[in-house]
Structure 1
């Protein structure tokens, strides 16, 4: 590698995204990159020429290990949609002017569907205009909805946290005596894909019966049928625990959270911010069944729980970061690194590349056959898919009883 590398992070953070950043940095240095720059707040920050020399912040092996264990996006993230090339070529000219000035040989972007759209547009522009800079995408999303890859870094750790938290909520619910019964509705991230919500079933085992119902956004949700199912469960048991995706919709396409005006923000990519599904359903249950009910939103906790990450997830996140640099150094561009599962038992996975045009703006949802016939739980096939991804632990580096993170000055 003769030139410099620049790397950015985009979209919703995860507890493993910084392990990919560490993989990019270490592999680039080992392959001879003169400098490894980090974009501050992704492509949006780069347009404002906000970037840093990562070697000034990752100074030793301890810093690298801390970075792997630090949640959220160390470089800062963004949700910035590049226009189509013909709509605003000036933006692309500005970006490539900055890349030329920094002598960038390799541009790495860590993110999900929208981030792969950025890689697609930049690599296309480079090819059309004759630029030699290589553009490679690194998969990242707790939603696990990127096409063509078996799974995405970040998902395994989020699934581990969801399974653990669901188990703790069930234990808490069973311990309390409320007289008329208690219904707990857990709201889990997932706009169109139920990979995260399905992970609530991981709580089921010899010492825990798991949630009573699980609803994914892949199937239409019927509020009346839901209430009646809960009514029937309360006739048999003291407490009921339900896991729902934030994005469950009615047959007419409306989000359940819209029944309480829970959608009031739309981002640059046209995605509605969803919130309030659990509280709406809990209130509906309380009013119609006369029992106590509560809604719990796991919210950002499910993507920031670095104290409970999966070792498999952290290792694979690091590997895909390194694989991206290797691919660019060997001449590939317009590609996304993917994970290919070789076997479940023993679990084995390797990296490969796929054309980013086949990945960007395509969502992978939970197969219908992995949801039970009634549409209120996941199957054993789903659990067999996810269980290998949550194995192992990466203990935090503790200081004064609290995990230490790699810190930076926000005035960068």
Structure 2
């Protein structure tokens, strides 16, 4: 590759997004790329010409290892939606003017569904206008909702944390006794796809029963049925655990969290900010049964728990970053790197590439057959899918007993 590379990160944080960045950087350097630029705050920062030379911050193998263990976006991310080309041609001209000034041959974007929309639009513009830059997407999202890839880097570590946290919540609740029982409602991220909430089932084992109920957004949520099920379970045991996706909806299309409060904040992609489903359900349960209720909202904790990351996840994140550089070097553009599962036992996967037009703005949800018929739990098939992704550990590099991260602050 004769020109330079620029890489950016977009969307929500994960525990392993920087492992993909490390994979891009190391592979680019191994292939003789002169400069690897990092755009600060994604395409939004790039438009403001805010970028760095990554070699100023990644100086040796230890920095690579620190970066792999550093959660969230080292470069800073954004939620910025590029307009359609015909609506703002000048903006695209500005982007390519900067790319040409920096002698960029390859543009790599690490992100989720909306980020792949950016890759699609930029590659389309390049083709239409005769530009030579190549555009490759690297999958990243804890939501695991990208199409055509078996799973996304970030999901395995989030699932491992969620399963572990759920088990600890269950253990905590077992030590408490209330005359009318205790119901704990765990709220997990997931707007339209329940991959993360389903991961609460990982808590189940020889030493733990797991959650009593798990509700995903793929199935319409029946509030009366939920109350009835929990009531029957309360008659059998003193502590009941229910896990719900933040995006569960009732039959008329409203989110459960909207039943108690208006959801006003909407991001650049038109997504409502969802929170409060667990609180609403806990209040209804308390009113109906007079029981003690607690809510646990995992919120941002599930996104960047690098101390409990999956080694499989870290390694695969690194691999897809490297595969993006390799694909661009071999002439591909307008593509996203994907993970193809070769076998479950032993678990093996390989990387491939697919046309980003078939991926962007397409949401992969949990198959209905992986959810129980009554919609209140997940099946063994779901667990067989998830378990290989949470295996292994990569110990943090600690200083004073606390994990050390690679940050720009350290270099100032």
**Please, what TM-score do these two structures have when normalized by structure 2?**
0.99
Moved over 4 A (4+): none
Structure 1 match to 2:116? 116
Give the Cα separation in 2 of the matches to 1:411 and 1:262: 44
Partner of 1:369: 369
Supply the distance in 2 between the matched residues of 1:172 and 1:316 (Cα, whole angstroms): 33
Q: For residues 237-276 of structure 1, give each alpha carbon's deviation from its aligned partner in whole angstroms, at most 9, with x where no partner exists.
A: 0000000000000011000000121522100100111001
Residues 57 and 411 of structure 2 are in contact (CA less than 8 Å); yes or no, is this contact kept in structure 1?
Answer: no
* Superimposed CA distance per residue, residues 324-356 of structure 1 (whole angstroms, 9 cap, x where no aligned partner): 000001100000000000000000000000000
When residues 125 and 410 of structure 1 are mapped into structure 2, their CA distance, relative to the original with a 3 A threshold, is: farther
Q: Check conservation: 2:108, 2:324, Cα contact below 8 A.
A: yes
- Residues in 2 aligned to 1:301 and 1:366: alpha-carbon distance in whole angstroms: 22
Q: Distance in 2 between matches of 1:72 and 1:259?
A: 32
What is the alpha-carbon distance in structure 1 between the residues aligned to residue 75 and residue 239 of structure 2?
Answer: 43
C-alpha distance in structure 2 between counterparts of 1:260 and 1:313, whole Å: 37
CA deviation string 1:202-241 (max 9, x = no partner): 0000000000000000010011111111100000000000
Distance 2:408 2:395 in 1: 21
C-alpha distance 402-392 of structure 1, shift in aligned 2 (>3 A): same
User: Does the CA-based 8 Å contact 1:20-1:319 persist in structure 2?
Assistant: yes
**CA offset at residue 320 of structure 1?**
0.1
How far does the alpha carbon of each residue in 1:134-189 deviate from its partner, in whole angstroms, 9 at most, with x for none? Answer: 00000000000000000000000000000000000000011111221100000000
Deviations 1:58-110 (A, max 9, x none): 11111110100011001000000000000100110000000000000000000
Report the Cα offset of residue 409 of structure 1.
3.0
CA contact (8 A) 1:262 1:276 kept: no
What corresponds to 1:321 in structure 2?
Answer: 321
What secondary structure sits across from 1:152 in the alignment?
coil
Q: Deviations over 1:100-144 (max 9, x none)?
A: 000000000000000000000000000011111000000000000
Instruction: Name the SS for the 2:97 alignment partner.
Output: helix
Q: Is the 8 A contact 1:105 1:133 kept in 2?
A: yes
- The CA deviation string for residues 303-322 of structure 1, in whole angstroms up to 9 with x for no partner, is 11000000000000000000
Is the 1:262–1:274 Cα contact (8 Å) retained in structure 2?
Answer: no
Superposition pairs for residues 1-400 of structure 1, below 5 Å? 1-261=1-261, 263-400=263-400
Give aligned pairs, total: 412
Distance in 2 (CA, whole Å) between partners of 1:223 and 1:350 is 42
CA RMSD, Structure 1 to Structure 2 (Å): 1.0
SS at 1:300 equivalent: helix
Whole-Å separation in 2 of the counterparts to 1:5 and 1:295: 46
| Deviation for aligned residue 1:295 | 1.1
Distance 1:409 1:311 in 2: 27
- What CA distance in whole angstroms lies between the structure 2 residues aligned with 1:87 and 1:261? 36
Q: Output the TM-score relative to the length of structure 1.
A: 0.99
Distance in structure 2 (CA, Å) of the matches to 1:32 and 1:241:
54
Distance 2:401 2:411 in 1: 28
- Aligned partners of 1:175 and 1:328: how far apart in 2? 55
Displacement of 1:410 in angstroms is: 10
Report the CA distance between 1:411 and its aligned residue. 11
In 2, the alpha carbon distance for the partners of 1:212 and 1:174 equals 13
Q: Secondary structure in 2 aligned to 1:206?
A: coil
Taking the aligned partners of 2:76 and 2:322, their CA distance within structure 1 comes to 20
Q: Aligned pair 1:407/2:407, yes or no?
A: yes
Q: Residue 172 of structure 1: SS of its match in structure 2? A: helix
Answer yes or no: is the 8 Å Cα contact 2:10–2:109 preserved in 1.
yes
CA distance in 2, matches of 1:387, 1:232: 30
Secondary structure of 2:29's match?
A: helix
* Structure 1 counterpart SS, 2:270: coil
